[in-house]
Structure 1
Amino acid sequence: MWEYAAASFRLVAGLKPPLEALAARLRLTVERSWEDLGAVDVAMFRIQRVDFALSRLEGGVEPSTFVWVSRSEPDADAALEILLGALGIGLDALTFRGDMETGFERFDGSSR
Structure 2
Amino acid sequence: MSGNTPTGDTGQQSLAWEPVTVPGPEPDWRPAPEYQLNPNPTQQYGIWDSIALIHRPIGVLPPPLKAYAARLVLEVEQSWEDRGRVDAASFRLGGYFLVLSQFPDLPDTGVTIWLDRRHTDTEAALARLVRTMDIPADHARDTTWSPHPATQHEPPPPPPSRRPRFLRIRRK
The TM-score with structure 1 as length reference comes to 0.80
Given residue 75 of structure 1, which amino acid in structure 2 is its aligned partner? D
Task: Determine helix, strand or coil for the equivalent of 2:141.
Answer: strand
Q: Tell me the distance in 2 between the aligned counterparts of 1:94 and 1:56.
A: 14
CA shift for structure 1 position 97 = 4.6
Change (3 A) 1:17 1:34: closer
Mapped contact 1:9–1:70 kept (Cα < 8 A): yes
Deviating runs (4+, > 4 A) in structure 1? Answer: none
Given residue 120 of structure 2, which amino acid in structure 1 is its aligned partner? P
Of the candidates 86, 105, 108, which is equivalent to residue 59 of structure 1?
A: 105
- Which string of whole-angstrom CA distances, capped at 9 and with x for unpartnered residues, describes residues 50-87 of structure 1? 00000001333652111000001011111101111111
Percent identity of paired positions between Structure 1 and Structure 2: 35
2:155 corresponds to: 101
Mapped contact 1:64–1:95 kept (Cα < 8 A): no
The TM-score with structure 2 as length reference comes to 0.54
Return the structure number with greater relative CO, CA threshold 8 A, min gap 6.
1
Computed over aligned residues only, the root mean square deviation of the Cα atoms, in angstroms, reads: 1.9
CA shift for structure 1 position 92 = 2.3
Q: Which has the higher strand share?
A: 1
Given residue 5 of structure 1, which amino acid in structure 2 is its aligned partner? I
Mapped contact 2:63–2:108 kept (Cα < 8 A): no
Q: Tell me the distance in 2 between the aligned counterparts of 1:17 and 1:58.
A: 10
> Mind listing any 5+ residue stretches in structure 1 that lack a counterpart?
103-112
Rg larger in 1 or in 2? 2
> Quick check: 1:82 aligned with 2:128?
yes
How many matched pairs?
A: 102
Change (3 A) 1:51 1:26: same
Task: Determine helix, strand or coil for the equivalent of 2:123.
Answer: helix
Of the candidates 56, 59, 66, which is equivalent to residue 13 of structure 1?
A: 59
1:26 corresponds to: 72
Given residue 56 of structure 1, which amino acid in structure 2 is its aligned partner? Q
